[in-house]
Structure 1
């Protein structure tokens, strides 16, 4: 019988991240402030804001899936405030989203310079990130936890290692009783390169997070789901979760969804031919169109995260904390 050969990951050489140059640091995170008014350029954005306001006033969930670049854009403080104020009820990301968050918590910085690091094979080979995250996930695996809870619990029980934990999004979600789930693909994240990686633990904990995500989606009737910059993982995970919920007749029929990205989609509400590359852009169908076919509304906003998230935060602050 054919037996394919495997490379020995125990030979991978790791390096301390202590003196690493980080592009994103706690001292250059975006501060909470007033931002430009987008209403004149994006006529539908107020309709979307109203949907979130109505959802929260009615006790309906607002779920958010984001790609790692939301953290790399320095928006952690905005996400944390949205969690603390109850503007969002579930946050989700891919594995990279958890890694940048984790590095900010222990190192105070994240986002290495990939073009040079990939040349000598040092890219992603960070001892503390890989060892501690894998240790956290393996502890969580043994205790039946999900991926996000495993990381947050590890920080909570090892606070001395994480002097900057106040800037960690998933840790703030943990402290505020909001689910933070991470949906991984094996081989996509730098911690999978570490010699201590346990793929059974990684798969189990992320699988548990998928169940947690599905539980949040089941209550989405009258609620809102947002996807920021995740072009594959977010749309695919959301569509499968929605299918499970509807398969079990749990609801989530009339929902509002929105996708935020930099791809110019034109008339995103119109079907597009398989001959056009837009057909293969998953958020168009999996976030905007297909989930809202039973009711509700799907939006698309061609916006940089550094504009969209601060604007949404500011408008929700005005609408939900006006005292009316």
Structure 2
């Protein structure tokens, strides 16, 4: 006769419910003695029609992101008043949402002392200066192999890069000087960050990953020239970063290239004896990404300094930051 399998009955039951806790002896203290993170004095003020920008900024609540924004503004203002650098690292999307005039104005006013961009940045900067428009419809062009095949973009940018390599220039300087050669050929060059850098004598560096940019597909692309000019720009940016004790680095819209580049410049500077222990770093983007948070906000400041994150769309956040800084500096 087959043996019967015993059914599991689970834990033994006492048949009694657990009695509720007795809270009658709970210890309390006066609310006024408790530390509170939010106070009425920190609240926003309603907007009144006809007010100024400075009044608007003052109405913002002194809580969370506004506290971070104010701290970043204060760091930038202090850096410029003490002659320390303010470096702006930008992804190409920053140009595509129309922010070049804001950045060139900050350069001209002496607020931003150096700009770093990725390889895509020179494409949009160049096309805007040349034609007044940029950013093709990739979905509409990729199926027929037309994506990235604009003749002038490939030919002229590679010509500028090769000429820069022969002249011992960095990539950013080479393209900026190329754009500045002819106002007739580049009728919109007032929008160009690269041209502004060359005109003002401010470093605008370009950091390229070969194969990521449309001009690398063109037969005029010269890997040796691209590599030489971009490496020179890396070392030029490293020299700027090495001297940024008391300064500020702001990464706007670059999720991979510039956070990696910035971290290496910090390490190189410290290896050569530059302290970089009192620096402010900022990441601005509409999404939080691993590399900017790690390689811009956290790692470079773990020795000293402060790192901040400001989350929001570039076309809102960067003009807001720029306006707040200009108001704080008291400049026209």
Which residue in the other structure is 1:307 paired with? 316
Matched residues in 2 for 1:48 and 1:94: separation?
23
**Residues matched between the structures, number:** 276
Measured after TM superposition, the shift of residue 116 of structure 1 is 0.5
Cα-to-partner distance string for 1:53-95 (whole Å, 9 max, x where unaligned): 0000000000010100000111111011111101110001101
Separation in 2, partners of 1:170, 1:251: 30
Find the aligned partners of 1:34 and 1:105 in 2 and give their Cα distance: 31
CA distance in 1, matches of 2:60, 2:258: 27
Is 1:59 aligned to 2:68, yes or no? no
Give structure 1 stretches of 5+ with no counterpart.
Answer: 1-32, 265-277
- Greater length-normalized contact order (CA 8 Å, ≥ 6 residues apart): 1
1:73-222 paired onto structure 2 within 5 Å: 73-222=97-246
CA contact (8 A) 1:95 1:184 kept: yes
TM-score, normalized by length of structure 1?
A: 0.82
Confirm whether residue 291 of structure 1 aligns to residue 315 of structure 2.
Answer: no
Cα-to-partner distance string for 1:122-162 (whole Å, 9 max, x where unaligned):
01101101000000000111111100011011122244321
User: Structure 2: which 5+ residue stretches go unaligned?
Assistant: 1-51
Larger Rg: 2
Q: Secondary structure at the match of 2:152?
A: helix
Structure 1 residue 34 displacement after superposition: 5.8
Deviation beyond 6 Å, 4+ runs, structure 1 = none
CA positional deviation for 1:263: 2.0
SS in 2 for 1:210: helix
TM-score by length of 2: 0.80
How many Å separate the matches in 1 of 2:229 and 2:331?
A: 40
Q: Displacement of 1:254 after TM fit?
A: 1.2
Instruction: Say which SS state the counterpart of residue 87 (structure 1) adopts.
Output: coil
Offset at residue 195 of structure 1 (A)? 1.2
Of 303-312 and 178-187, more deviation after overlay is shown by 303-312
Q: Distance in 2 between matches of 1:246 and 1:215?
A: 11
- Please list the CA deviations of residues 15-47 of structure 1 after superposition, one character each: whole Å capped at 9, or x if unmatched: xxxxxxxxxxxxxxxxxx969749435332101
RMSD in angstroms over aligned alpha carbons? 1.8
